[in-house]
Amino acid sequence: MTDSNPNIFKTVVPERRGTTSAEVVIQLRGMIHRGELRPGDRLPPERDLAKLLGVSRPTLRAGIRSLAAVGVLQSRQGAGTFVVESDGPPSLDSSPLSLMASLHGCTSGEMFEARRALEMAVAGLAAERAKGEQMATMAEEIAGMYASLEDPEQFLIHDVRFHQAVAAASGNRILTALMNMVAKVLFDIRIKTVNRATDLKESAEMHRRIYRAIREHNPEAAREMMQDHLIRAQRGWELEDESDLPSTSSDNDANDNGASRTL
């Protein structure tokens, strides 16, 4: 029985700062921050919880939905509502970032640059702190890359896992989550293009150079290798589709990046 103790929820709506559903969100969020709701916990059924909190079921559902939208709760029809289980690295939903980029007309160049900044920071930290087991994981993924030089799809899997291994070795879950969020947005764009096989062998060797820098606990080198790798990856991606841009856009003067495709 993983259900939380129902008496925790006795805190009915005391005052109304804003709307009632906003109050529900505040209540639930507070329970999580206070540790009364832990990952994997199942919330009481909506009908019961609504009574406990003193609100109607639609209002409670509105609050639950708000927290589900940001990836904190997860409702499964017929099963219940759960606090999201965190197996693996912590993660943030990428859709808010993606939507924000669309609303502001951000360019893919800015997104690439953000990823570069995060990955460089993470690589530097990993070079300072990586433990033996984490080193081994990275090395294994690189071996997997070399073994998949003829299979771009498989290569990509090892590529992604290597970067996650580096992030894990950094020991900073906040940066890891941010990095994955940005990477996910770029991945969702990239997946639309045909996966034209770029030079996988060169890519594998760049990854190996990153690994060696981390292995030798050389943060500066790790950052530099990571930067080289990502700049080259970006360039390769930009060359893949030069058929969409009708003319050179010139409304944004703050970026000297190559790609100015609006997201």
Footprint on this chain of DNA (rule: CB under 7 A): 19-22, 43, 45-47, 55-59, 61-62, 64, 75-81
Q: Pick out residues in 201-230 that bind a copy of itself (CB under 8 A).
A: none
φ, ψ for residue 92, nearest 5 deg: -120, 145
Closest Cα to residue 186, out of 140, 251, 233?
233
Cα–Cα dist 64/84, whole Å: 12
Identify the residue among 98, 137, 164, 234 touching a copy of itself (CB under 8 A).
98
Any contact of residue 97 with a copy of itself (CB under 8 A)?
yes
Q: Which does 256 bind (CB under 5 to 8 A by kind): a copy of itself, DNA, none?
A: a copy of itself
Q: Which does 69 bind (CB under 5 to 8 A by kind): DNA, a copy of itself, none?
A: a copy of itself
Q: Which does 249 bind (CB under 5 to 8 A by kind): a copy of itself, DNA, none?
A: none
Which 3 state secondary structure label does DSSP give 107? strand
The set of residues, in sequence order, having a beta carbon less than 8 Å from that of 96 and lying 6+ positions away, is 70
Q: Which does 55 bind (CB under 5 to 8 A by kind): a copy of itself, DNA, none?
A: DNA
Cα–Cα dist 66/123, whole Å: 34
**Tokens, residue 250:** 């010139």
Any contact of residue 173 with a copy of itself (CB under 8 A)?
yes
Min dist. Cβ of residue 163 to a copy of itself (A): 16
Cα–Cα dist 8/48, whole Å: 13
Any contact of residue 56 with a copy of itself (CB under 8 A)?
no
Identify the residue among 32, 52, 135, 139 touching a copy of itself (CB under 8 A).
32
* Interface region with a copy of itself, contact rule CB under 8 A, candidates 107-115, 149-157, 159-167, 207-215: 107-115
CB nearer DNA, residue 58 or residue 89: 58
Cα–Cα dist 28/73, whole Å: 10
Any contact of residue 189 with a copy of itself (CB under 8 A)?
no
Identify the residue among 68, 149, 157, 160 touching a copy of itself (CB under 8 A).
68
Alpha-carbon distances, residue 58 vs 30, 54, 180 (angstroms): 21, 12, 34
Would you list the DSSP string of 49-96?
HHHHHTS-HHHHHHHHHHHHHTTSEEEETTTEEEEPP--SS----SHH
The set of residues, in sequence order, having a beta carbon less than 8 Å from that of 194 and lying 6+ positions away, is 240
Q: Which stretches of the chain bind a copy of itself, using CB under 8 A?
A: 19, 21, 29, 32-33, 35, 38-39, 58, 61-62, 65-72, 77, 83-84, 86, 90-93, 95-104, 106, 110-111, 113-114, 117-118, 120-122, 125, 129, 171-175, 177-178, 182, 254-256
